[in-house]
Amino acid sequence: MSKPEYARMKFYCDEDLCIDCNGCVVACKEAHEVPVGVNRRKVVTINEGIVGKEISISMACMHCSDAPCQQVCPVDCFYIRVDGIVLHDKDKCIGCGYCLFACPFGAPQFPQDGAFGTKGKMDKCTMCAGGPEETNSPAEFDKYGQNRIAEGKVPMCASMCSTKALLVGDSTEVAAIKTYRSVAHGKGISTQSYGW
Amino acid sequence: MQSSTFYTRNKAYLLTLLGLGVVGFVFIGFMMIMDWEYFLKYPLHVILTGDTSGVLVEPTSNYQAMVNAAFGPSYNSIAPEIIRASNERQEFIWWVFVAEIAIFCFMYAKYGRKVAIVTNPNDEVEVFSLFHRAVIWLNIVVIVALIITGFNITWGMRSGGGDIAFFLRGSHEMLGLVWLPLWFAMTVIAFKDAKILFNNSITKKLILKGGYTPMKRVIFIVFVVMGAGLIFSGITIWYIHPDAFTHSEFIQLKRYLLYVHFGASVLIMFFLMDFVYSVMVAVKGNLKGLITGKYPREHLEQLAPDVLRDIEEKR
């Protein structure tokens, strides 16, 4: 019997198309009611203001296949779904911040809501796939935000991207789109895929 | 008459350096995943330029510049070691302490416990003032609490996380802040060698009585240096709360400091256990002395003549 093939869900941001509008950041915060001081997604720009050299990418958790956050978490609160989405259990999280030290992308976020301003429980992009609570329950929304994946919808950030710089989906499909765009523009693939 | 060679005079220092050297060589050479050149250059770069981003070499491409701006540079220099160390602290660090306790058991079986013969228990001498006792006991309480709450993080797999473990983790950060003045006060009162340099009324009143044996001096130096490392790294990590944007400007500094925190905590624990054994287990009568502040004169004559000499001189 052949092994079932699951999708391997990935984000990809095309820096040639990202215009630093921060629409993805706002859409994410709005959809999941992310509190002030926590940004699950952020846009990073270099060479700002230099014509022709300014480039931006939208970044969040890259849902790594061998996620360092999962390897380093002392209470083992991370789990990786069969489709590759990296999620975590806030009921287990102790807010130690080890995942932040291990993450190559600065994805884990910490609200400053503990006693005397200490870190609260870690928050990060779920690729709009919720968490371990019952799917689409108020408890799940309260802790992790919307579960759009369970509804068959695209994550909010990518669905709102006005230039379609931010892609999400099965890595094979995303890679095919990236290759198609590069070939169609006649530029070739200019850079590596950040975080793949 | 006992021979006084360089080795016998400096045995404690030499054996400590040898032990740390062997353990350090094995860890650095064979067990750690660390770019040591980066590890040494990075703090120099921070001190000389004030730039904590960790970018030691200017990027040569847009891709490199983007990686530096977005994620911070040189991920492979420190981060993999943090992951390795975190995992191994869960699995193996327990055995370090088991080995140390086994050594203590061997020493206890071989050398036994020193007990003073006291015929006149009413003839007591005050060794620790109320201030001394307050500083020592507060240090003991806070250090024990820091160890419990710290291992709550390190051995999180045992608790499985949850609200209690979350509360203890937050307490670890706050207790670290509380320990800063206590560590400083302990460093001052336990600086017995200061009496060699400044033998005046203030040092006589403030600093603990007696002098150091070589091993106790080593423990004091480790307490001061590793305590400073723990407090500086801990408070800096706590103070630089991760903001909502990229952490690339200081993530490398935090990784560096967390590594320093790991290393300093293991070393200070090792030597503190040595201190607890040599003070509480190897010699009888110190617990009562630390509570009341007073010791029978005969106890001091037999086991701590240097302390008695200091007290007599003060009079």
**In this complex, do B241 and A110 lie within 8 Å of one another by their Cβ atoms?**
yes
Tell me which chain A residue has its CA closest to the CA of residue B249.
Answer: A106
Report the predicted TM-score, pTM, of the whole model to 2 decimal places: 0.88
Give the separation between CA A97 and CA A121, rounded to whole angstroms. 9
Tell me which chain A residue has its CA closest to the CA of residue B246.
Answer: A106
Give me the tens of pLDDT residue by residue for chain A, a chain 196 residues long: 566 677 889 999 988 889 999 999 999 999 999 988 899 999 988 888 888 888 899 999 999 989 999 999 999 999 999 999 999 999 999 999 999 999 988 899 998 877 777 889 999 999 999 999 999 999 999 999 999 999 999 999 999 999 999 999 999 999 888 888 877 765 544 455 555 5
CB contact set of B235 (below 8 Å; sequence gap of 6+) = B176, B177, B180
| Residue pair B71/A100 in contact by the 8 Å Cβ criterion | no
Nearest to B82 among A91, A93, A101 (CB): A101
Nearest to B66 among A57, A100, A118 (CB): A57
**In this complex, do B72 and A118 lie within 8 Å of one another by their Cβ atoms?**
no
**In this complex, do A72 and B83 lie within 8 Å of one another by their Cβ atoms?**
yes
**In this complex, do B174 and A45 lie within 8 Å of one another by their Cβ atoms?**
no
Give the separation between CA B251 and CA B52, rounded to whole angstroms. 8
Give me the tens of pLDDT residue by residue for chain B, a chain 315 residues long: 566 788 888 888 999 999 999 999 998 888 889 999 999 999 999 999 999 889 999 988 888 888 888 888 889 999 999 999 888 888 888 888 899 999 999 999 999 999 999 999 999 999 999 999 999 999 999 999 999 999 999 888 888 899 999 999 999 999 999 999 999 999 999 999 988 888 788 888 899 999 899 999 999 999 999 999 999 999 999 888 777 776 788 889 999 999 999 999 989 999 999 999 999 999 998 999 999 999 999 999 999 999 999 888 866
Give the three-class secondary structure for B230: helix
From A71's Cα to the closest Cα of chain B, the distance in A is 7
From A123's Cα to the closest Cα of chain B, the distance in A is 11
Predicted-complex ipTM score: 0.86
| Residue pair B80/B38 in contact by the 8 Å Cβ criterion | no
| Residue pair A166/A13 in contact by the 8 Å Cβ criterion | yes
B contacts of A125 (beta carbons < 8 Å) = none
Nearest to B169 among A46, A76, A95 (CB): A95
From B121's Cα to the closest Cα of chain A, the distance in A is 49
- Where b means 16+ CB within 10 Å and e means fewer, A12-46 reads bbbbebbeebebbbebbbebbebeebbbbbbbbbb
B contacts of A77 (beta carbons < 8 Å) = 161
Nearest to A112 among B75, B157, B241 (CB): B241
- Topology of the domain comprising A9-184: Alpha-Beta Plaits (3.30.70)
